[in-house]
Amino acid sequence: MSDARVGLVIEDDQDIRELIRSVLSQAGFDVHVAATGSAGVDSARQLDPDVITLDLGLPDIDGFEVARRIRKSSDAYIIMLTARTEELDTLMGLEAGGDDYLTKPFRPRELRARVEAMMRRPRSSSNSTDSAPGESVLRHNGLDLSAASRSAVVDGVELRLTRTEFDLLLALMESGRVVRSKADLARRLRNEPYDVGSYVSDSDERAVEVHMGNLRKKLGDSTQSPRWLETVRGVGYRLAPAAPTR
């Protein structure tokens, strides 16, 4: 069916590959698999999947490079799966374009929960920078953000953001000068209310930090004199003050 959700599993271990296939199939996905990084990149280009699980330890191309290549043509959610426990590896995975990560061995229930949380978030429906008639556009210091078309434009130039980066930017644009903690933003990425009080792990908060760093780089923003994203030390993030108008 044309409206079926598509999942892509890039994993060289057959047992793990079949486990993930089963988890995604039970969650309602039309699942495709690839055993190498190069095959995974080709499949991502051809299938336009909604969700990709990506093993970092592939035999031909490492997962970081696979994610970078996929990000050139796809806005799929990417969940990194790694047997490495070093924080640097997980941070590198997020910086390469991953949205989330799980450490092997993982619980199938946790993988499914993370996938389903992602799928509650909207997917880009348009690549156009032009807003539709009546569409609400959030504007701040030369940044135009449209939730309907999932587009972000700075001084007339469209940014290429991952879905997670876009959702974080939208959350801050909607909040204005209200400070959002890393836990708040992690809950927002799960499509939960800010004040539900659900558990947010240190790794989830660290992931938000990495995504915010990536977002700053793409915006060309400065941490010392921010135009858009202001860090409130020990608290969280908010929009920088509006530039004075002339």
Domain of 235: which CATH number? 1.10.10.10
Closest CA to 99 of 13, 185, 192, 189: 189
Q: What is the mean pLDDT of the chain?
A: 89
User: Largest Cα–Cα distance of the chain, in whole Å?
Assistant: 63
Residue 126 lies in a domain: no
Whether pLDDT at 61 is above 70: yes
- Enclosing domain of residue 196: 137-239
- Over residues 204-231, the pLDDT tens digits come to 899 999 999 999 999 999 989 999 999 9
Whether pLDDT at 5 is above 90: yes
Q: Are residues 61 and 164 in the same domain?
A: no
- Over residues 139-185, the pLDDT tens digits come to 999 999 999 889 999 999 999 998 899 999 999 999 999 999 999 99
Structure tokens at 115: 């996938």
When divided into structural domains, the chain yields a total of 2
Separation between Cα atoms, residue 243 and residue 139, nearest integer Å? 12
Q: At residue 209, what are phi and psi to the nearest 5 degrees?
A: -60, -45
Contact, 8 vs 39, CB < 8 A? no
Confidence at residue 123, expressed as pLDDT on a 0 to 100 scale: 57
Q: Are residues 82 and 181 in the same domain?
A: no
Residue 128 lies in a domain: no
Residue 124 lies in a domain: no
Separation between Cα atoms, residue 162 and residue 156, nearest integer Å? 19
* Number of Cβ within a 10 Å radius of residue 147: 16
- Residue 121 binned pLDDT confidence (cut-offs 50, 70, 90): confident
Q: Are residues 109 and 150 in the same domain?
A: no
Whether pLDDT at 122 is above 70: no
Strand runs labelled E in the chain? 5-10, 29-34, 51-55, 77-82, 100-103, 137-140, 143-146, 151-154, 157-158, 229-232, 236-239
Q: Are residues 147 and 210 in the same domain?
A: yes
Residue 130 lies in a domain: no
More confident residue, 134 or 172: 172
Domain boundary among 92, 119, 146: 119
